[in-house]
Amino acid sequence: MHMHNAPVGVFDSGLGGVSVLKEAVRCLPHEHFIYYGDNLHAPYGDRPEQEITRLSAQCADILTEKGVKALLVACNTATGAAIRLIRSKLDVPVVSMEPAIKPACQSPGNGKILMCATYATTQLERYKKLKTRMPDPERIIDVPCPGIVDIIEQGNFCYSAFEKALDKCLGRYEGALIDGLVLGCTHYIFIKDVFYRYARSRFRGQCRMFDGNAATVRQLTRVLSANDMLKVCGTGSVSFFTSGDRAKYQPLFNMLLHY
């Protein structure tokens, strides 16, 4: 198979990475994509770093065996724990995610930036180093959001389903001046409106929303082009694989891809 026609592999601990895949399909409509969700082990964010690294490497191996020409790690937690190992093992280009704290910190205002993510992402060394490179690291407040991914994995997107969970992680900042919220988990993109509604009802300030999906797909486009792998004609396709119950997750995958 000519490298132009080979698929791009995308993986996440569950269905969150479909938010990145959706942006990739929009921007790269001619490409073939293979998505692998490790739903059996989702969420990664509550697991030890060593386990996250092992599971992420397994996902990369599974997609490599399917003949992908490039790999997109559509998970901030997997990136933080395993991106160096994955890049050292694979012979194909690897594109990764990182929380969008840079554009958030460049936004105007004197308020705080809430970086909402899994607990593991906020504790990983890669993220901590990224944070130190910001012009004012003290402006960023790390907010682990346990339970949010589990609700999304169940296919529930109603505001009422998340209000109690958001109160637990964000309620302590009620009344604070907040310039922005960084959605540092790809799952959270599907409930961006939920986060925004909650923020506007509890905080002062602009509460702008930031995520890294568009920037990640732009980087994927640059990497494919630089390696002469970009597919510029023909009809693209999307294939879905999961470590979990396919009968359960295939309908959710299809729904989220068109959400």
Residues marked as catalytic: 75, 185
Backbone φ and ψ of 51, nearest 5°: -70, -40
- For Cα atoms 115, 118, 123, give the angle at the middle one, nearest 5 degrees: 80
Contacting residues for 71 by C-beta, under 8 A, at least 6 apart: 8, 9, 10, 11, 60, 63, 64, 86, 90, 92, 93, 94, 95
Q: Is the peptide bond before 108 cis (omega within 30 degrees of 0)?
A: no
Query: Which two tokens mark 201?
Result: 């009802």
